[in-house]
Structure 1
Amino acid sequence: MEIKKMLTEIHPKLPMRNKLRTKDYYINQLGFEIFGNIDHDGYLMVIKDNIQIHFFEFKELDIIDNYGQVYIRTNDIDTLYQTMLDNNVDIHLNGKLETKPWGQREFSLLDPDHNLLTFGESIM
């Protein structure tokens, strides 16, 4: 008996304090595009390749207490990392590109609201 797969995609929702700043960061530094043709008040959707991230407004967010995290898989980590460096994107102090013991090459960065984005490619 074949089991039908029901889950098809995931679109993480992360907090943002300032929509314009978040939009600028994801569009102009990370190379995402706006998703959708309606500008929702207090909500932002961006897309790059097959990755879609949503943001909800949380003006009172204390970035020190923000634990928003997303792990994004890639098939060309070295080029992606170099693109981030070329675009002057700040790489997380402890998130430089390296090969991890669990078989991934990864790097991380923090967005303006301290949401942690980790990019990884399997080396196995």
Structure 2
Amino acid sequence: MVEKAMKDVHYSVKPNRNSKQQALEVIHLIKAVLPLERAMMRLKIESSSKEAKKLLEKFSTFASTVESLHWDSGELTLILLIDPGNYRQIDELVRTDTKGTTNMEVLSLKEVIEGDSFLD
């Protein structure tokens, strides 16, 4: 399927070039032919901070989807889907702004949708 898409965009592998650079180029070209999107990471964030409402706003800006949100006696539990490129920023936010009152856990590195689909 990928080889067919590479032929459709008229891309050929150059053996003397860096493979990572070629992969990035071909992915950019194939996006025009195939509907590609980056897989999302699922994170669980638990906070007992007094500033949990402010943190919720900050975390929501990085999230593509907030799957669940629970307030239990001042504790915030949040499960969200993020772009993997935002992970470092969220990790830095948890480390610096919360001063140890917030825990972050990676639930899954990719969001998988199961089911039948037709491939050419």
Larger helix proportion of the pair = 2
The normalised TM-score by structure 1 is 0.31
**Larger Rg: 1 or 2?**
2
* Higher RCO (Cα < 8 Å, 6 or more apart): 2
Larger strand proportion of the pair = 1
The normalised TM-score by structure 2 is 0.31
